[in-house]
Amino acid sequence: MSDSTPIFNDRNTGRSKLINPTLVLNCGSSSIKYALISEDESTRITGLAENLGLDTARIKHTTLNGEKLEITIPGGRHELALQKILALLEQYHFIAVGHRVVHGGREYSKAVRVDQHVLDEVKRLKILAPLHNPANALGIEAVEAIYPDIPQVVVFDTAFHQTMPPVAYRYPIPKALYEEEKIRRYGFHGTSHAYVSERASTLTDTKGPHGWLTAHLGNGCSASAVYNGESLDTSMGLTPLEGLMMGTRSGDVDPSLHIHLKRKLGMSLEEVDTMLNSESGLLGISGLSNDLRTIEQAANEGHKDAQLAIEMFCYRVGKYLASLSCALPDFTGIVFTGGIGENSSTTRARILDVMRHFGINFDADKNDELVGGAEGNFQEQDSSIELWVVPTDEECQIAKETRQALGLK
C-alpha cells in the first residue's frame, strides 16, 4: 500500500501511538479476527474478515482514529484475506505476530515461538480441532511467506489448562486410550480465563492467593476453577462440546445418546455430531435462535420454549459453577465474562439464584449497571464471595504472551 493511499487519516499519528506493535491473528474456519496492539496495550487497530470462501466475503477494518472501512473480496479465502490484512497494516511495522491456535495437545503448556516442529504439530493436531487448527496453520504460513524475518508465536487455547491435575483431566476410560491416543480433557477458552482471572486478582482487595470461578458465557461457553493463576479444572474436555449448554452446542449429554439415535433413528455418528454441535443448545431448545437477546425478547412475550431455554442455560451454568468450586482450596469469587456474561444482568442473577445455598448476596442495581463493557464488582458487603464482571480481552492476552515468549517487554 503506497503512502498516497487516502483511506488512512491517522498515518503519521498512528506510528507514534503504535510503538513496537504486536499483530494478533485469530484464524477461524471461515473468518479471521485481527488486532494490532501497541507495546503498552493502550492503542490498537482491529478488524474482521468474514464469510471467507463465499461471494459475501469481506474485511471490516477500524483504523486508529475510528474510521470504518469495508473491503469486499468475493470468493476470497484465508490466503487472500491475510494478504489484504497485512497490506492494511504494513505501515505500522509490527515487530511480532501472535496466533491464537485452538489445540496444542498435551505437549504445550505455554506460548511458543514458531519453528517447523511447532507448525507441524499445529497441523498434526487437526485431528482434535479439524475446523480450526488447519486455518491457524494457514495464518502462520501466510505471514511467513510475506514477512519471513518477523518472529511468530502460537498461543494455544488449551495451554492454560495444562496445570490441571490428573484427577481433573483424565477420563474414567481404559488407560491405553490416554497413553496411546492422548484422549483426555484439554479445556478451551484458555486466553480468556487467564486474562479475566488475572484481572480480577488485580482488582480485588482480598489478599492472595485467589480462587476464582471464571464463567466465559457467549455463543461458546465454558467455566474454569483458577487458583493462584493456575487452572485446576474446567468444563470443556477433549473437544469444546463438553460442559455447559451453549448457543448451538448441547454441552453434557448421556454418552449413549449417539448409539441410541443410531439404533432408533438410523442417524450416523456424523449426523449426531452435527446435531450436538450446531443444532442444539439455546437454538435447539428455543427453536428460535442461538442469540440470547432474541430468546429473552421472545421469553418476555410469553414464548414457553424460549423461557425454558433460558432456565436450562442458567441452571446448568449454576450447577457447573457449584461443582467446580470443589477444585478450589479457597473460593474468592466468581468472574463473569463473554458476550452474555458481560451484558446480561438478568442471566447473572438467575445463575446466582441457582447457587442460593452458597451465601451469595448481590446488589441488584449494581448488577444492572454492569453491561456494555463496564467492569466492576456487585456483591453485597455480607456476601460469602466476591462477584465481578470483567470484559475479556483475548487479543491483549495473546499479545502479552507473544511478547513474553520472545523475551520482549
Asked whether residue 159 is domain-assigned, the answer is yes
The per-residue pLDDT for 8 is 36
Asked whether residue 314 is domain-assigned, the answer is yes
Q: Quick one: CA dihedral 359, 365, 345, 309, positive or negative?
A: positive
Gap between the Cα atoms of 392 and 409, Å rounded: 22
Gap between the Cα atoms of 130 and 188, Å rounded: 15
Number of structural domains in the chain: 2
Considering the domain architecture, whether residues 353 and 268 belong to the same structural domain is answered as yes
Q: What is the mean pLDDT of the chain?
A: 93
The residue from 132, 163, 194 where one domain ends is: 163
Per-residue cell: 309: 431455554
Q: Is residue 382 scored above 90 in pLDDT?
A: yes
Average pLDDT over residues 77-94: 91
The string over 27-57, giving b where at least 16 C-beta atoms fall within 10 Å of a residue's C-beta and e elsewhere, is: bbebbbbbbbbbbeeebbbbbbbbbbeeeeb
Query: Could you tell me the pLDDT band of residue 12, with boundaries at 50, 70 and 90?
Result: very low
Considering the domain architecture, whether residues 215 and 330 belong to the same structural domain is answered as yes
Gap between the Cα atoms of 17 and 342, Å rounded: 29
What is the SS3 assignment for 170?
A: coil
Considering the domain architecture, whether residues 158 and 209 belong to the same structural domain is answered as no
What is the distance, to the nearest Å, from the Cα of residue 27 to the centroid of all Cα atoms in its chain?
13
Among this protein's residues, is 157 annotated catalytic?
Answer: yes
CA distances from 369 to 213, 356, 364, 377, 384 (A): 21, 22, 9, 10, 21
Asked whether residue 334 is domain-assigned, the answer is yes
Q: What is the tens place of the pLDDT at every residue in 278-291?
A: 999 999 999 999 99
Cβ 204 vs Cβ 210: under 8 Å? yes
The per-residue pLDDT for 10 is 45
Size (the chain), residues: 409
Gap between the Cα atoms of 339 and 189, Å rounded: 13
Q: What is the tens place of the pLDDT at every residue in 102-111?
A: 899 888 889 9
The residue from 109, 134, 163 where one domain ends is: 163
Gap between the Cα atoms of 80 and 300, Å rounded: 44
Gap between the Cα atoms of 342 and 326, Å rounded: 25
What is the SS3 assignment for 232?
A: strand
Among 55, 149, 157, 330, the one annotated catalytic: 157
Average pLDDT over residues 358-387: 97
Residue 259 belongs to domain spanning:
205-394
Considering the domain architecture, whether residues 356 and 240 belong to the same structural domain is answered as yes
Q: Is residue 271 scored above 90 in pLDDT?
A: yes
The per-residue pLDDT for 5 is 28
The residue from 163, 178, 193 where one domain ends is: 163
Q: What is the tens place of the pLDDT at every residue in 191-222?
A: 999 999 999 999 999 998 999 999 999 999 99
Find the radius of gyration of the CA atoms of the chain. 22
Average pLDDT over residues 374-398: 97
Strand-pair category, 22-27 with 96-101: parallel
Q: Scanning the structure block, which residue is given the C-alpha cell 473491503?
A: 71
Residue among 61, 57, 60, 59 at smallest CA distance from 74: 57
The per-residue pLDDT for 48 is 95
Query: Could you tell me the pLDDT band of residue 7, with boundaries at 50, 70 and 90?
Result: very low
Gap between the Cα atoms of 170 and 158, Å rounded: 15
Among 12-26, 209-223, 232-246, 268-282, the minimum mean pLDDT is found in 12-26
The per-residue pLDDT for 65 is 86
The per-residue pLDDT for 2 is 31
Cβ 213 vs Cβ 225: under 8 Å? yes
Gap between the Cα atoms of 136 and 114, Å rounded: 12
Considering the domain architecture, whether residues 118 and 259 belong to the same structural domain is answered as no
Considering the domain architecture, whether residues 85 and 224 belong to the same structural domain is answered as no
Residue among 49, 313, 335, 61 at smallest CA distance from 192: 335
Considering the domain architecture, whether residues 142 and 239 belong to the same structural domain is answered as no
Considering the domain architecture, whether residues 217 and 307 belong to the same structural domain is answered as yes
Among 17-21, 115-119, 179-183, 230-234, the minimum mean pLDDT is found in 17-21
Q: What is the tens place of the pLDDT at every residue in 142-166?
A: 899 889 999 999 999 999 999 999 9
Per-residue cell: 394: 483475548
Q: Is residue 4 scored above 60 in pLDDT?
A: no
Per-residue cell: 72: 469486499
Considering the domain architecture, whether residues 121 and 263 belong to the same structural domain is answered as no
Gap between the Cα atoms of 238 and 273, Å rounded: 14
Asked whether residue 190 is domain-assigned, the answer is no
Considering the domain architecture, whether residues 215 and 120 belong to the same structural domain is answered as no
Asked whether residue 170 is domain-assigned, the answer is no
Gap between the Cα atoms of 234 and 273, Å rounded: 22
Per-residue cell: 64: 486508529
Asked whether residue 185 is domain-assigned, the answer is no
Q: What percent of the chain has pLDDT over 90?
A: 84
Per-residue cell: 355: 447457587
Give the CA dihedral 205, 340, 394, 223, nearest 10 degrees. Answer: 70
Asked whether residue 96 is domain-assigned, the answer is yes
Q: Is residue 238 scored above 90 in pLDDT?
A: yes
> CATH code at 64?
3.30.420.40
Query: Could you tell me the pLDDT band of residue 18, with boundaries at 50, 70 and 90?
Result: confident
Considering the domain architecture, whether residues 150 and 255 belong to the same structural domain is answered as no
Average pLDDT over residues 302-322: 98
Q: Is residue 16 scored above 70 in pLDDT?
A: no
What is the SS3 assignment for 366?
A: helix
Q: What is the tens place of the pLDDT at every residue in 320-339?
A: 999 999 999 999 999 999 99
Q: Which residues pair with 37 in a beta bridge?
A: 22, 44
- How are strands ordered across the β-sheet holding 221-227? 230-234, 221-227, 211-217, 333-337, 386-389, 376-377
The per-residue pLDDT for 11 is 44
Query: Could you tell me the pLDDT band of residue 126, with boundaries at 50, 70 and 90?
Result: confident
Asked whether residue 210 is domain-assigned, the answer is yes
Considering the domain architecture, whether residues 123 and 272 belong to the same structural domain is answered as no
